[in-house]
Amino acid sequence: MIVVLAGVSGSGKTTVGALLAERLGWPCTDGDLLHPEVNIEKMERGVPLTDEDRLPWLRAICGWMDDRLASGEPGLVACSALKRSYRDLLLTPRPAARMAFLDIGQDIAAGRLAARHGHFFRPSLLGSQFADLELPGPDEAAVTLIPVADGPDQTAAEVIRRLGLPVRNSPA
């Protein structure tokens, strides 16, 4: 199984992904590492990405997922997947993939981004992510909407519970 942790920047994808990787014993990658350099440069300049900009990145994430699936290994990947078309690209041809979409309010995400340093995503871009955001609907069977809890431990526990994931390591 592949689990895609999705949501806007600041929703906790990377942090929750690391916790899940530890608890499940699964490899995890941050989809940000798969962005083409041109995308990173745009975001560093505070320029929002377009659908065309995101397509090579989404294809790279699909490649990562396909490699895991082909080897029969589980995995976790963090990816914003803001639009239904992006989620369809990631999930439709991969029946062994599920998505936990982390739902967070813009004010909370903005506060988290203001406290984050050293990342290429500029907090000024958050508004463009919320403008592009298409929350998953009930007809997206492979997508589970997870409200972001008070802390990453609770959010990770909710992802495990809702997706029925096989925990190997309990939280300390």
Pick the more confident residue, 60 or 10: 60
Q: Within a 10 A sphere around the Cβ of 155, how many other Cβ atoms?
A: 25
Q: Out of 87-91, 117-121, 138-142, which region has the weakest mean confidence (pLDDT)?
A: 117-121
Give the percent of the chain with pLDDT over 70.
Answer: 87
Do 101 and 154 touch, CB atoms closer than 8 A? no
What is the reported pLDDT for 109? 72
Closest CA relative to residue 132, chosen from 34, 8, 6: 8
Question: pLDDT-derived band of residue 95, with 50, 70 and 90 as boundaries?
Answer: very high
pLDDT exceeds cutoff 90 at 101: yes
Instruction: Check the CA dihedral 79-85-87-90 and report its sign.
Output: negative
Give the percent of the chain with pLDDT over 90.
Answer: 61
Tell me the chain's radius of gyration from C-alpha atoms: 15
- Token pair in block for residue 101: 């979409």
